[in-house]
């Protein structure tokens, strides 16, 4: 098993603590956290440097208004980790996604769970705030 495959397997076991998981393919794990779903992939940037790339669907098919743009910018600025973006800034409707990539190959399980929990919980917070508006 490669280092990247082993890291993805560890991540799959760890995020199962946060919600139901699925393995749609050999390169990713998907986790449901609250009303959101997140895909986690391992990217090998160079020998010995594996990163986890998290893409979380925060909200789908929202009216793409100036208010939404302002809310996404404001909520994104409050996040400690990750960035919040609209998938289609010019469309009539848009999805809102959170992206976060971090080196994870040498993190022990508890620190890895902690980082993933912080990131995914922030996405859930943003989802709840956007839907409440």
CA quadruple 88, 80, 33, 106: dihedral sign? positive
Q: Residue 66 to residues 28, 30, 52, 59, 133: CA-CA distances in angstroms?
A: 34, 31, 32, 16, 13
Domains of the chain from N-terminus onward: 4-132 (3.30.1460.10)
In the numeric block, the tokens 């760890």 are attached to 14
Reading the block at residue 14, the tokens are 């760890």
Round to whole Å and give the CA distance between 110 and 89.
Answer: 37
Contact 116, 17 (CB under 8 A): no
Contact 104, 85 (CB under 8 A): no
> Buried (b) or exposed (e) across 78-89, using 16+ Cβ within 10 A?
ebeebebbbeee
Q: Model pTM greater than 0.85?
A: yes
Q: What is the pLDDT of residue 2?
A: 84
What would the pLDDT profile of 77-125 be if each residue is shown by its tens digit?
999 999 999 999 999 999 999 999 999 988 999 999 999 999 999 999 9
Residue 17 has pLDDT above 70, yes or no: yes
Other C-beta atoms closer than 10 Å to the C-beta of 18 total: 18
């Amino acid at each position: 098993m490669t280092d990247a495959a082993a890291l993805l397997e560890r991540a799959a076991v760890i995020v199962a603590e946060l919600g139901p998981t699925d393995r749609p393919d050999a390169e990713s794990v998907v986790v449901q956290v609250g009303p959101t779903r997140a895909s986690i992939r391992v990217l090998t940037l160079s020998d010995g440097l594996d990163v986890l790339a998290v893409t979380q669907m925060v909200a789908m098919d929202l009216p793409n208004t100036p208010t939404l743009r302002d809310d996404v910018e404001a909520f994104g600025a409050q996040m400690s980790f990750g960035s919040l973006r609209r998938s289609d800034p010019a469309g009539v409707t848009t999805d809102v996604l959170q992206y976060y990539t971090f080196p994870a190959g040498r993190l022990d399980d508890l620190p890895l769970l902690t980082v993933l929990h912080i990131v995914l919980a922030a996405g859930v917070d943003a989802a709840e705030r956007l839907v409440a508006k």
